[in-house]
Amino acid sequence: MTDVLDVPDDVDWHDWTEERGWGDGLPTVPPTEDRVDAMLAGLPDDAADGLAPLPPSGLTPTLRSVAANAVMAGCVPGMLPLLLAALEGVTTADYNLHGSLATTHPCAPMVLVSGAARAGFHGGGNCFGPANRRNATLGRALSLVLLHVGGAQPGVLDRSTQGSPAKYTFCFAESDESPWPDLAARRDFGPDDGVVSVMAAEPPHNVNDHGSTTGLELLTTIAGTMAESGSNNVYVRGPHLLVLGPEHAATLHRDGWDVGSIREHLWATARIPVERISPGNREQFVEWGVKPEGDAYTVSTGPEQLHVVVAGGAGKHSAWIPSFGATELVSVRVRR
């Protein structure tokens, strides 16, 4: 199988790729040899060390195939080390890539950029949305590699019942306005390290609280949002992510809350009353080994499964991001 294909001059690139089942439905950039070479330029000698077989195909991507997908997604040269770190993260056993790609759950590979890697990425207002090329294309490039090399074709091996817009791209950066150490520092990476974290996640669930004036009041609202009876985090358990907007984070910090105390409080208060779970679901939960604590179910298995970061802009909003459940939030150092 050749690495280079000749595309006839008289065909439309987008029609030609669509006929072959390539791409995600949005226009892609043709990965010419020159563009792929530019994407590969300056890679560290150990760049390929983290590449591993991708389920469900079992194929191991080459550096050139990863670079070609980065070009197709619209990445700028210099972004490839972050994509390689994300690929290393999703192919760890803890991430459970095969399960997250084959499930009927709508999870997508979420990419969180922390530490020194944040340069050029966006962690401010509308960080989950459009406008930043690096955010948009890094998440998309990861999804394209999983599609083209991993074989996660929607409706074939990607069995998601409805999917979600996050499957196109889901990437954001931590804010530089956080009053606490970022995720990279809390996971013992060095101050000069760039870090990419990945998790099989649902899209963000908004937490709207314009009325609370104290940190404790804010946590009451957040706990109510997290206590969702239809979330995989109730019975499959696993990690989940709280993304505090800077204004909510500032209020919590002012009142003496830190990441540890926030996690402990939400673990104790984000509970789902038994009567909100249908009898049929209660029977299924027992099959999964999940029982209520008293008269309520917990969200996941403990405070350590809730990860807290700060991102966003002005406004009294935060977000809760549940996961597929059978996954972990995996952090990888970006090779320089």
Q: Which 3-state string (H, E, C) describes 150-162?
A: CCCCECCCECCCC
Question: From the centroid of its chain, how far is CA 209?
Answer: 24
Residue 324 lies in a domain: yes
241 belongs to a structural domain? yes
pLDDT recorded at residue 7: 75
Q: Measuring CA to CA, which residue among 30, 132, 43, 24 is closest to residue 71?
A: 30
Asked if residue 329 lies in contact with residue 96, where contact means CB atoms within 8 angstroms, the answer is no
Residue 89 tokens read as: 């993260």
Q: 103: helix, coil or strand? A: coil
272 found inside a domain? yes
- Domain span at residue 165? 13-333
In a domain, 7, yes or no: no
pLDDT at residue 2, rounded to an integer: 45
Does residue 212 form part of some domain? yes
pTM, two decimals, is: 0.95
Residue 167 lies in a domain: yes
Any idea what the Cα angle at residue 74 is, between residues 48 and 145, rounded to 5°?
45
Determine, yes or no, domain membership for 3: no
Lookup: tokens for 121: 């990425």
In a domain, 287, yes or no: yes
Number of domains in the chain: 1
Q: Output the tens digit of pLDDT for each of the chain's 336 residues.
A: 346 677 777 688 999 999 888 999 999 999 999 999 999 999 988 899 989 999 999 999 999 999 999 999 999 999 999 999 999 999 999 999 999 999 999 999 999 999 999 999 999 999 999 989 999 999 999 999 999 999 998 888 889 999 999 999 999 999 999 999 999 999 999 999 999 999 999 999 999 999 999 999 999 999 999 999 999 999 999 999 999 999 999 999 999 999 999 999 999 999 999 999 999 999 999 999 999 999 999 999 999 999 999 999 999 999 999 999 999 999 999 998
d(CA 56, CA 39): 26
pLDDT of residue 71: 98
> So what's the pLDDT on residue 3?
63
